[in-house]
Structures are given as C-alpha cells and as structure tokens.
C-alpha cells in the first residue's frame, strides 16, 4: 500500500482533530502525550482550527506532517516545532541553537511495523533542516521503551538531559537528539 506523506492544510482541522483524539486513546498515550483524551475532546472547534493552521503547509514555525492512506484516511502524524536560540523551551530550558523539536508522534496500531514512522520522521527532519535547524530533538518518557528503541533506530541518541514531568510525580522524560551531519 502506498501512502502520501505531506503537510496538513489549514482547512483539514477536522481530520487533525480526529487523529489526535485517536492518538490519545492509544494504550501508551499516558506515557507519550502531555494531554488526556478528555482534555482534548473538550476543546472547541476554534482551538482545532488554530492548532491545525499553526502547523499547516506554508507555516514557518511548525509543520504537522501526516501519512495519508490511498482512501484518504490519515494513519500517522508527527509535528516539528522550530525553537530559536535565545528563547526558552516548554520545560524552561534555554535554547542554545536553532533546533527542531518533534512532538505528537503517532501511527495507528494497524500500521505499526510497516516503516511508516520512519518515513514520517524523514519528512519531519528534512523540514527542520530546510528551515535552518542545527539539530532535531524530541522528549520521551523514561518508561516508553518502545519509542526509545525506535528513536535510536532512526539515529537519535540520548543527550543526558532529563526533563521532570511534574514536581510531585518524580517521573522524568529523556531528551534524544539528532545532530545535523
């Protein structure tokens, strides 16, 4: 089966919403995402319109890339955010150089193992390089071994940076990065 790998378009917010809600129902969602299904489902359509537009084709600061099956059904996604030097990231850490940050990685369970995630990552990393990133990073929960194995397989390495999830939980996430060759 062949898939189309492309950036979302702003008017495709209903499909973006549906895929995000599906991701949040995945069994590993509590380890993979910082949002629950209930929180996301409660957002009004205006939230989904704005969220989709910020990562749509032609946007400069972010890009949401999807895998579209031949029947038009979306089966996977990844978003790459650009982080500029001199700013602070979502966790409060200083950004020292221009980098891409991969978030929202999801492939429907029936498509896993097909190589689709590799293709989505290739597209996201290429977009980051094309927009001047010196490295691409991602954050993964310390207990999400499946994701960590995949990230290593596609060239990402742990940097040693630990990101606490919440002051009271004691859980951490790990930064993995891919340096531009």
**pLDDT tens digit sequence for 153-165:** 999 999 999 988 7
Q: Cα separation of 46 and 43, whole Å? A: 8
Pull the structure tokens for residue 173. Answer: 């996430």
Per-residue model confidence as pLDDT tens digits over 53-105: 999 999 989 999 999 999 999 999 999 999 999 999 888 889 999 999 999 99
The pTM of the full predicted model, rounded to 2 decimals, is 0.92
Q: Cα separation of 125 and 153, whole Å? A: 14
CB of 37 closer than 8 Å to CB of 25? yes
Per-residue model confidence as pLDDT tens digits over 108-153: 999 988 889 999 999 999 999 999 999 999 999 898 888 999 999 9
């Amino acid at each position: 089966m062949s898939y189309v790998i492309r950036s979302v378009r702003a008017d495709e917010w209903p499909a973006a919403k549906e895929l995000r809600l599906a991701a949040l129902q995945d069994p590993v969602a509590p380890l993979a995402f910082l949002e629950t299904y209930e929180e996301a489902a409660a957002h009004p359509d205006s939230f989904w319109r704005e969220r989709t537009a910020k990562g749509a084709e032609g946007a400069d600061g972010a890009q949401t890339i999807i895998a579209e099956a031949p029947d038009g059904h979306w089966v996977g996604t990844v978003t790459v955010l650009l982080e500029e030097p001199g700013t602070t990231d979502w966790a409060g850490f200083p950004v020292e150089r221009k980098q891409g940050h991969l978030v929202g990685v999801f492939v429907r369970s029936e498509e896993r193992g097909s190589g689709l995630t590799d293709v989505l990552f290739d597209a996201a990393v290429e977009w980051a390089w094309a927009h001047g990133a010196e490295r691409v990073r991602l954050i993964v929960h310390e207990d999400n071994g499946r994701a960590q194995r995949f990230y290593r397989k596609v060239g990402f390495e742990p940097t040693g940076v630990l990101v606490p999830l919440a002051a009271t939980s004691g859980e951490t996430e790990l930064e993995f990065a891919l340096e531009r060759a």
